[in-house]
Amino acid sequence: MIDNNKKKVRIMAFAIPPVPRPEHVSPEQVIDFDIYALQAENGEYQTLISRLLHARDAPNLLWTPQNGGHWIASRAAVMEEVLESPERFSSRQISVIGPMNPSPPFAPLQIDPPDHNQYRKLLGLAMSPKSIEVLGANARVLAIELIEGFKKRGECEFIGDFAAHLPIAIFMSMVNLPAEDRPELLRISELLVRNESLVATLQANQQLSAYTMQKIAERRANPGDDLISHLIRAQVGGAPMTDHTLIGMINLLLLAGLDTVASMMGFFACHLAQDVELRQQLIVDPRLIRGAVEEMLRRFPITNLARLVVADCTLAGSVLKAGEMILLPTAAAGLDEQRYDNPQDVDLQRKPCINATFGGGAHRCLGAMLARVELNIFIEEWLPRIPDFQIRPGTELHVHSGSVAAICQLPLVWGVT
Ligand code: HEM
pLDDT at 195: 62
Q: Whose CA is nearest to atom 6 of ligand 1?
A: 358
pLDDT at 9: 35
Residue 256 lies in a domain: yes
pLDDT at 259: 87
Q: Is 248 labeled as catalytic in the residue annotation?
A: no
Q: Which atom of ligand 1 is nearest to the CA of 404?
A: 5
Residue 11 lies in a domain: no
Q: Which atom of ligand 1 is nearest to the CA of 91?
A: 16
pLDDT at 196: 67
* Spatial distance between the Cα atoms of 321 and 304, rounded to a whole number of angstroms: 21
Residue 217 lies in a domain: yes
Q: Whose CA is nearest to atom 16 of ligand 1?
A: 305
Q: Strands, E, within 298-372: which ranges?
A: 304-309, 313-315, 318-320, 325-329
pLDDT tens figures, 196-228: 677 888 888 899 999 999 999 999 999 988 899
Q: Is 259 labeled as catalytic in the residue annotation?
A: yes
CATH number of 380's domain: 1.10.630.10
* Spatial distance between the Cα atoms of 310 and 313, rounded to a whole number of angstroms: 9
Residue 80 lies in a domain: yes
Q: Which residues of the chain have pLDDT under 50?
A: 1-12
Q: Whose CA is nearest to atom 12 of ligand 1?
A: 359
Residue 17 lies in a domain: no
Ligand 1 pocket test, pick from 259, 363, 365, 404 with the greatest ligand atom count within 8 Å of Cβ, gives 365
Residue 132 lies in a domain: yes
* Spatial distance between the Cα atoms of 110 and 7, rounded to a whole number of angstroms: 29
Ligand 1 pocket test, pick from 128, 260, 293 with the greatest ligand atom count within 8 Å of Cβ, gives 260
Q: Is 194 labeled as catalytic in the residue annotation?
A: yes
Going from the Cα of 252 to the center of ligand 1, the distance in angstroms, rounded, reads 9
The domain total for the chain is: 1
Beta bridge partners of 413: 155, 390
Region label for 176, one of left (φ > 0), alpha (ψ between -120 and 50) or beta (otherwise)? left
Beta bridge partners of 303: 404
Segments forming the whole domain that contains residue 109: 44-413
Distance of CA 176 to the CA centre of its chain: 23
Residue 20 lies in a domain: no
Distance of CA 210 to the CA centre of its chain: 23
Residue 13 lies in a domain: no
Q: Whose CA is nearest to atom 22 of ligand 1?
A: 365
Catalytic residue of the set 367, 402, 410, 412: 367
Q: Which atom of ligand 1 is nearest to the CA of 167?
A: 27
pLDDT at 14: 67
Q: Whose CA is nearest to atom 31 of ligand 1?
A: 367
pLDDT at 15: 73
pLDDT at 187: 84
Q: Is 88 labeled as catalytic in the residue annotation?
A: no
**Cα torsion for 74, 80, 86, 90, to the nearest 10°?**
30
Q: Which atom of ligand 1 is nearest to the CA of 330?
A: 10
Going from the Cα of 358 to the center of ligand 1, the distance in angstroms, rounded, reads 6
Q: Comparing C-alpha atoms, which of 291, 210, 293, 297 is closest to residue 247?
A: 210
Q: Is 201 labeled as catalytic in the residue annotation?
A: no
Going from the Cα of 258 to the center of ligand 1, the distance in angstroms, rounded, reads 10
Any idea how long the chain is? 417
pLDDT at 417: 80
pLDDT at 3: 31
Residues lining ligand 1, judged by CB closer than 6 Å?
A: 91, 94, 108-109, 120, 123, 252-253, 256-257, 260-261, 264, 302-303, 305, 357-359, 363, 365-367, 370-371
Q: Is 242 labeled as catalytic in the residue annotation?
A: no
Catalytic residue of the set 64, 245, 260, 357: 260
DSSP string of 300-321, one letter each residue:
---BEEEEEE-S-EEETTEEE-
CA distances from 286 to 263, 296, 351, 414 (A): 23, 15, 19, 21
